[in-house]
Structure 1
């Protein structure tokens, strides 16, 4: 991965709206935030990715297929179709061809709070190749479980409260055991992983406040 210029920003979560938004912070100091906002992580704005357009569709190999356009030349992410994943499971998004313009893109490379998820992204292919019963559903559930805001506790959620794609005929269409196994592997392995140039990491797309925040994977 080549060096790039970036603004340090803070990704903040609005507790009342259960959505994610980003705040610029050129000084590197934490901004004064109202009580309803809680800074959760530092990510990096991608030069050339301040006004992307995305089209979101469901996918069978990832939670979403995202078609990126209007990204200016940079060393991190290019225009085209990429795998997509969900961050905030409680917020809706049109995943049947929904188009969102003016989306700002942020890199999570070497961001401490994103290391567990980025580690998962680096082992995901091996997990799915070595165990064909592991699907995008288990991967997405692990992502939600690793996030702290909004809280996602799979063991506490009733089946009827799960997102629709995780249920079929009123029954879970994923393996609770596989989710737990992958979570254990991530939690015990990410701290020793070498997050250096050439490894995979998430690029976040900042959608409107009332739309689910998504991310793709780059290397």
Structure 2
């Protein structure tokens, strides 16, 4: 059963499963009971039985790199390789091949305005900040998606935080730049018009997102 669907039909049952799951570099703190999060997406009808191959996207300026197939023709998303990001820092990712993956659209949903603003600005940030990496973008996403409590300043207190972002008492990304991006998003996201929007990917691991085309 995919986790996204599990949240829809049994938030407390899935909570029990996650609390006892093995998370590699991640430590689960449990799923937040966020009805707004769950109900603020629309299934992409042509992408409800997708095959996804997921691997590290560090060399492609993303947390994950995914290869999607078995998507029927539609104006939102096509088959092929995409950059992807995660929403849950404390839930393990399942790399490799997965079948029966489902995609959900955030188009026109106010709940996702901040994330959609950020995703539309990634290329701008790459041009404006030569030092930026995928880590600043990912940390900003964790901060602006109102799904699980997250604060950059509290990272030292989070157990088993991903070592690629924080290790041995040191942040391994540009905290100042990340906070600047977060503040820009908070100020400018409301009322913005987006060329593309996030697609939430329902799968067996952590909830991840890619973008429309």
- Range of TM-score over shorter length: 0.7 to 0.9
- Taking the aligned partners of 1:75 and 1:179, their CA distance within structure 2 comes to 32
- Taking the aligned partners of 2:155 and 2:82, their CA distance within structure 1 comes to 30
Secondary structure at the aligned position of 2:173 is classed as coil
Q: State the 1:170 CA deviation.
A: 5.6
Cα deviation 1:98-129 (Å, max 9, x = unaligned): 11111111111111110100000111111111
Alignment partner, residue 64 of structure 1: 64
> Quick check: 2:68–2:80 contact (8 Å CA) kept in 1?
yes
Q: State the 1:164 CA deviation.
A: 2.4
Alignment partner, residue 177 of structure 1: 176
Q: By percentage of residues, which structure has more strand?
A: 1
- Taking the aligned partners of 1:149 and 1:122, their CA distance within structure 2 comes to 20
- Taking the aligned partners of 2:114 and 2:34, their CA distance within structure 1 comes to 20
1:200 matches 2:196: yes
Alignment partner, residue 76 of structure 1: 76
1:215 matches 2:180: no
Cα deviation 1:39-88 (Å, max 9, x = unaligned): 02311111111110111111121111100011111111111000011011
Higher relative contact order (CA closer than 8 Å, sequence separation 6+)? 2
Alignment partner, residue 23 of structure 2: none
- Coordinate RMSD, CA, aligned: 2.4
> Quick check: 2:156–2:169 contact (8 Å CA) kept in 1?
no
1:104 aligns with one of 102, 105, 108 = 102
1:121 aligns with one of 98, 116, 119 = 119
Aligned residues: 187
- Taking the aligned partners of 1:123 and 1:66, their CA distance within structure 2 comes to 20
- Taking the aligned partners of 2:193 and 2:113, their CA distance within structure 1 comes to 10
Instruction: Report 1:131-210 matches (<5 A).
Output: 131-158=129-156, 161-167=160-166, 171-195=170-194, 199-208=195-204
Unaligned runs of 5+ in 1: 1-8, 20-35
